[in-house]
Amino acid sequence: MTDDLNDLKAMMDAATPRPDLARRAENIALAQKNFADLQGSAQAARPTAVTGPKGLWTGVKTMLSTITTKGGLTATTALVACGFLIMTPQGQDLLRPPSSPQITVTEFNRAIVPPEAVSGSATVAAPREDTFASQPQDIATAPAVDLTPNLNTADRSRVTAKSLPQVTADADILQQQAAEIAEGMTQGQAMAATTMQTSRVAPTLNDEQAMPRLAPERVVVAPPPQADDAMVSPAPSTESFANIAASPLKITAEEPVSTFSIDVDTASYALVRSSLSRGELPPREAVRIEEMINYFPYDYPTPDAGEAPFRPTVTTFQTPWNANTQLVHIALQGRSPEMTARPPLNLVFLIDTSGSMDDPAKLPLLKQSFRLMLDQLRPQDQVAIVEYAGSAGQVLAPTNASERTTILQALQSLGAGGATNGQGGLEQAYAVADTMAEAGEVSRIILATDGDFNVGIDNPDALKDFIADRRETGTYLSVLGFGRGNLDDATMQALAQNGNGTAAYIDTLSEAQKVLVDQLSGALFPIAGDVKVQVEFNPAQIAEYRLIGYETRGLRREEFNNDAVDAGELGAGHAVTAIYEVTPVGSPAQLSDPLRYAPSTVAETSDELGFLKLRYKAPGEDVSQLLKTPITGNGAPGTEANFAAAIAGFGQLLRGDDHLGDWGYADAITLAAANRGEDTFGYRTEAVQLMRLAESLSRAE
Amino acid sequence: MRMMTSDEDLADAAAAGDGAAFASLLDRHYDRLFAFCFRLTGSRTEAEDLTQDICAALPAKLASYGRRAKVTTWLYRVAVNAAHDRRRKRATYAKATTGWGDWEVNRTAAMADTTDKLDWLTAAMNALSDDLRDTLALVLDDMTHAQAAEVLQVPEGTVSWRISEAKKALRAMKEQEDIV
C-alpha cells in the first residue's frame, strides 16, 4: 500500500484537519499587527490598483488589522464563537465542534470527487463557514443535522449526473440548504437562490489556484455588493498591453487590398517567455504574433549590391494547420552594412530610476545590459546618461565611449527612488541629444523603464504626439522594457513606433545580449524608413485571406502612397516576416458563401495569386520608393518559412484563435523542432522549449 | 480584461507597504499553509502553533521575497524553515498545551474513524528523518519534484532520492506492522 504515494496522499488528505477558525482569525490578526508595526508609521494602507476598490471584506480586514489590542482579539474571537453556537441545533451538545455540520458535507464530497480535488475542499469549506456565521438567522431555522440526509442523496445524484467540478458541487450544497430553508420553493426559485449563494461564495472560490478562470465568470452571473472584494476587483492587473482582436478574415471580392506597416519589435516574445517561465500562460493581449515571428533571425536571401536596401522574398505553401488553405510568406531581408564604416553614434541613455525599478530584474539588470553594450561601441561614439524619477537629471554629460571608467561609474551611481516623470526625462534627453548631434552622425535615445509613466503625461496619445514631433529632428527613440508587474506595454509600443525605434523587452541577461550586442547594429542603424506593405489579392484565385498578426500595425489603403504617414523602420541586417493565410477559390475551407445577387464570376485575368507592393524611404529622405513583385502559386517551404509558420501557429494557440482546428502545441513543436536550422544562438531551441512549457500549462488549466 | 490579481503582484504590493494586499494574500493562502504545516508536524496543535509562528514572522520575511520565485514556493520555504526552527526550540522546552489546543485534541480524538489511520500516519511520518519528512510533505501537497527542490533549495535528484527513501522506510514499517 505504501509503495503507492497516491494512497498515502489520499490518506493524508483525509487526515488533514481544517484550520481552527478562531486560531485562523487570531493568527491573521497577529500577522497584520506585525505587518502594520513593521511599516514604522500608523499611516493607513494606501489603496493601490493592485488591491482595487474596497469592499465589505476589505473593511473587515482593515478592522481586524487596526483592532489589535487584547480586548479586540477577545471580542472577535467571541463573536466568531457565538456565530457557531447559533448555527448548531438547539440542545445539541455544546462542546461539539462548531463546524461539524460542514464536516458531514465535506466527507460526502470526498466520497464523490476525484482525489486531486479533495485538498481544495478544505480550503473552500472554512471560508464558507464565514458566510454562514454572518447570516445566522437563515441557518438557525433549519437544523443542519436534519438536512444532511437530503443533501447526501440529492447532491450525489446531481453531481454524478452532471459531473460538475468541486466548486460547483459546493455551491449546489448551498443551494440545497437555501432551498430547504424556504420550503415549498419551486425549482426556479431555488435556482435564483443558487445564483445568490454562488455569488457570495465567489470571493473564496477565487482562492482556488486550480481554477482561477472559473471564478470571474461566477461573479458575472449576479454581482452582489458583497462580492465587491479586493480579490475579485474587476481590473486588478497593473500591466497594460497594446493589442486588439485578431485580424479578421477578409473576403477578396469585397476587400482585395491589405495594407500594413512592418514591425521589428520583439517585446511580445520576451513577455511571452517571461510569463511561461513563471509558470503561467501569457495574457492573450500580450501576444502579438508578428513580434514573436520577427524575434528570430532568419536566413533569407540578402539584397545584391546596388539594389534596394532590403530584398523581398515571397513563398506560397500549404498551411500546416489546414490542408485546404495556403500560407503566403513574405520575407524582407535588410542589408548588413559594413560595421567598420558606420557613422559615429550618439547615444543618450534615458533611465527610469523610480522606486519601482528597485528590483533585481530591473535596475541591476539594466546596468549589466548597458555594460555589455558599452563594449560594442567605438571610441568616437558618444554616450550621455539622463535619469528620471520625480525630476529629471543629467547623470553623465556627453562622454566619448573610450572613457569607459567614467561611464561605468555614472551607471553604477544610479539608484532607484521616487515617482516617475516620463515626459520630463524625455524632454531633457532630447535636449541632450540635440547638443550632441553633428552632421553625418546617428543620434538615438534609449529609454529604459519598467513602463511606469505615472507623473506628467500618462496618456499614450499625448506622449506619442510629443515624440512624433521630435523624431523630425532626426533623433530616434528606442524603448527597452524591464521587469514585470506594472509594465505598460501600450505606452512602450506607442513611444517606439512614433520615435522610429524598436521596443524590446529585456527579461534576462541573455536577452540583453541578443538585443544590445548581437543585433545592436540593426537596433541602432536604420537602413530604410517608413516601410509599408500592400498586398492586392486576385479574386479569381483567392476567395478569402487573413493576415496573421500585425493587428496594431494596420494602415488604410490610401495611406500606402501617402508619404506623410509614419510606418516601421527596418534596421541593418533585420529580417521582417509577414504571413497571410489564403483560401483558394473553390477550396472546401472557404468560410463565407458566395453572394446570390452579386456577379458570380470574376474574369480569369491572371493566374497570379496577388501582387505585392512595398514602399520605403532611404534614411533621411522624405520621398518614398516603390518595390513590386507578383505573388505566384505553389512553392515548397524552406526551413526558414516553416519555422516562421510554426511560430505563427504557436502565437495563435496562445491567443486562442479559432482558425487552427485540431492543430495543437504538439504539431507546433514538431514543425518548429524540425526547422531549427543552424540556430547559432539557440533562440529557436528555446522557442521549442517554450512551446513545450505552454503545452503543459495549457493542459494544467 | 478581467483577471485575478496574481499572488506575485499582491506580494509585491504588500512588500511595498500595502496592508490590504498583505491581508488578501494571507487570507488566500492561510488554509493551504495550515494544511502544509500539518503535514510537516503531524499534529493539529503543533500545526496551529507553527502557522502562528509563520504568521508572526511573515511581515518581516516579506522583504526577502523579491519576486524571484512563485509566492507559494517562497511561502513553503518560509514554512519549512520555521518548522526547522521549531524543532530546534522544542528540544529546549516542554510544550504546554492549553486552551484551544486541548479542545482540539479532544475533538480530534473524537473522530474515531480517521484516528487510527492518522495515528499510524503520524507515527510513520515522525519516524522519518526531518529531511525526508519535509520532502514528503511537499510532494504530498501536489508539488512536483522540481518544485519541491526549489522550495528546499536542493537539486531535484536529491528530492527524488529522498522520496524513494521515504517510500522504502514507510513500506518497511508497514510490513513490520503487518507481521506483528
Distance CA A288, CA A167 (A): 34
Distance CA A529, CA A624 (A): 9
List chain A residues with CB under 8 Å of B29: 207
User: What's the DSSP call for residue B123?
Assistant: H
List all residues of chain A from 355 to 414 with a beta carbon under 8 Å from chain B: 359-361
User: By CB neighbour count within 10 A (0-12 exposed, 13-18 middle, 19+ buried), where does A584 fall?
Assistant: middle
Residue A649 lies in a domain: yes
Same domain, A662 and A695: yes
Residues A460 and A466 sit within 8 Å (Cβ to Cβ): no
3-class state of residue A181 by DSSP: helix
What one-letter code names the amino acid at A68?
T
Percent of chain A topping pLDDT 70: 64
Place of cell 440545497: A176
Q: Report the interhelical angle of A21-38 vs A70-87 (nearest 10°).
A: 150
CATH of the domain at A447: 3.40.50.410
Q: Which three cell numbers stand for residue A520?
A: 545592436
Q: What number of C-beta contacts closer than 8 Å exist between A and B?
A: 203
Same domain, A579 and A458: no
Distance CA A643, CA A329 (A): 11
Q: What is the residue range of A372's domain?
A: 339-507
CA A258 to chain centroid = 27
Asked whether this complex has an ipTM greater than 0.90, the answer is no
Residues of chain B with CATH 1.10.10.10: 112-180
Taking an 8 Å cut-off on Cβ atoms, the answer to whether A207 and B28 are in contact is: yes
CB atoms inside a 10 Å sphere around CB A678: 9
Of A30, A51, A64, the CB nearest to B24: A51
CATH of the domain at A317: 2.60.40.1230
Contacts of A111 (CB under 8 A, 6+ apart): A156
Residue A668 lies in a domain: yes
User: Nearest to residue A647, comparing CAs of A572, A568, A575, A563?
Assistant: A575
Percent of chain B topping pLDDT 90: 0
pLDDT at A473: 76
Same domain, A100 and A228: yes
Give the residue, A114 or A451, on which the prediction is more confident. Answer: A451
Of A18, A233, A485, the CB nearest to B12: A485
Residues of chain B with CATH 1.10.1740.10: 1-110
Q: Identify the band that residue A92 occupies on the pLDDT scale cut at 50, 70 and 90.
A: low
Query: E strands within A4-140?
Result: none
3-class state of residue A334 by DSSP: strand
Count of CA atoms in the C-beta half-sphere (13 A) of A400: 5
- Choose which CATH entry (3.40.50.720, 3.40.50.10470, 1.10.1740.10, 3.40.190.10) describes domain B1-110: 1.10.1740.10
- Kindly report, residue by residue over A253-274, the tens digit of the pLDDT: 888 899 999 987 888 888 898 8
Backbone angles phi, psi at A330, to 5 degrees: -110, 120
Taking an 8 Å cut-off on Cβ atoms, the answer to whether B17 and A359 are in contact is: no
Same domain, A348 and A317: no
Q: Which three cell numbers stand for residue B133?
A: 519528512
Same domain, A421 and A476: yes
pLDDT > 90? residue A615: yes
* Long-range pairs of A461-465 with CB within 8 A, sequence gap ≥ 24: A461/A494, A463/A422, A463/A423, A463/A426, A463/A491, A463/A494, A463/A495, A464/A494, A464/A495, A464/A497, A464/A498, A465/A498
> Total structural domains in chain A?
3
Taking an 8 Å cut-off on Cβ atoms, the answer to whether B4 and A232 are in contact is: yes
Same domain, A424 and A480: yes
List chain B residues with CB under 8 Å of A279: 70
Radius of gyration of the CA atoms of chain B, in A:
18
Give the residue, A314 or A179, on which the prediction is more confident. Answer: A314
Contacts of A600 (CB under 8 A, 6+ apart): A594
Taking an 8 Å cut-off on Cβ atoms, the answer to whether B24 and A359 are in contact is: no
Percent of chain A topping pLDDT 90: 13
Residues A12 and B114 sit within 8 Å (Cβ to Cβ): no
CA of A28 to nearest chain B CA: how many angstroms apart? 7
Of B13, B30, B174, the CB nearest to A19: B30
DSSP β-bridge partners for residue A316: A328
Give the residue, A485 or A694, on which the prediction is more confident. Answer: A694
Q: Identify the band that residue A692 occupies on the pLDDT scale cut at 50, 70 and 90.
A: very high
Q: Which three cell numbers stand for residue A502?
A: 524598436
3-class state of residue A452 by DSSP: coil
Q: Report the interhelical angle of B19-41 vs A115-134 (nearest 10°).
A: 130
Same domain, A425 and A570: no
A39 to chain B, any CB pair closer than 8 A? The answer is yes
Q: Which of A7-21, A424-438, A677-691 is predicted with the least confidence, judged by mean pLDDT?
A: A7-21
Taking an 8 Å cut-off on Cβ atoms, the answer to whether B55 and A27 are in contact is: yes
Same domain, A21 and A68: yes
Same domain, A364 and A317: no
List chain B residues with CB under 8 Å of A65: 19, 23
Query: E strands within A434-474?
Result: 442-449
- Kindly report, residue by residue over A270-306, the tens digit of the pLDDT: 889 888 888 888 988 889 899 899 988 888 888 887 7
Taking an 8 Å cut-off on Cβ atoms, the answer to whether B20 and A17 are in contact is: no
Domain B112-180: give its CATH architecture. Answer: Orthogonal Bundle (1.10)
End-to-end CA distance of chain B: 62
Pairing of strands A542-548, A568-571: unpaired
Q: Identify the band that residue A579 occupies on the pLDDT scale cut at 50, 70 and 90.
A: very high
Same domain, A639 and A558: yes
Residue A188 lies in a domain: yes
Same domain, A347 and A492: yes
Same domain, A425 and A298: no
Taking an 8 Å cut-off on Cβ atoms, the answer to whether B140 and A8 are in contact is: yes
Percent of chain B topping pLDDT 70: 75
Distance CA A81, CA A75 (A): 10
End-to-end CA distance of chain A: 30
- Kindly report, residue by residue over A555-577, the tens digit of the pLDDT: 898 999 988 888 888 888 888 99
Residues shown for chain B: 180
Radius of gyration of the CA atoms of chain A, in A:
31
Alpha helices in chain B (DSSP H): 7-15, 19-41, 44-61, 71-90, 100-110, 112-127, 130-140, 145-152, 156-179
Q: Report the interhelical angle of A187-205 vs A166-181 (nearest 10°).
A: 130
A6 to chain B, any CB pair closer than 8 A? The answer is no
Of A31, A97, A361, the CB nearest to B56: A31
Distance CA A382, CA A437 (A): 10
A62 to chain B, any CB pair closer than 8 A? The answer is yes
Distance CA A398, CA A386 (A): 10
List all residues of chain A from 492 to 551 with a beta carbon under 8 Å from chain B: none
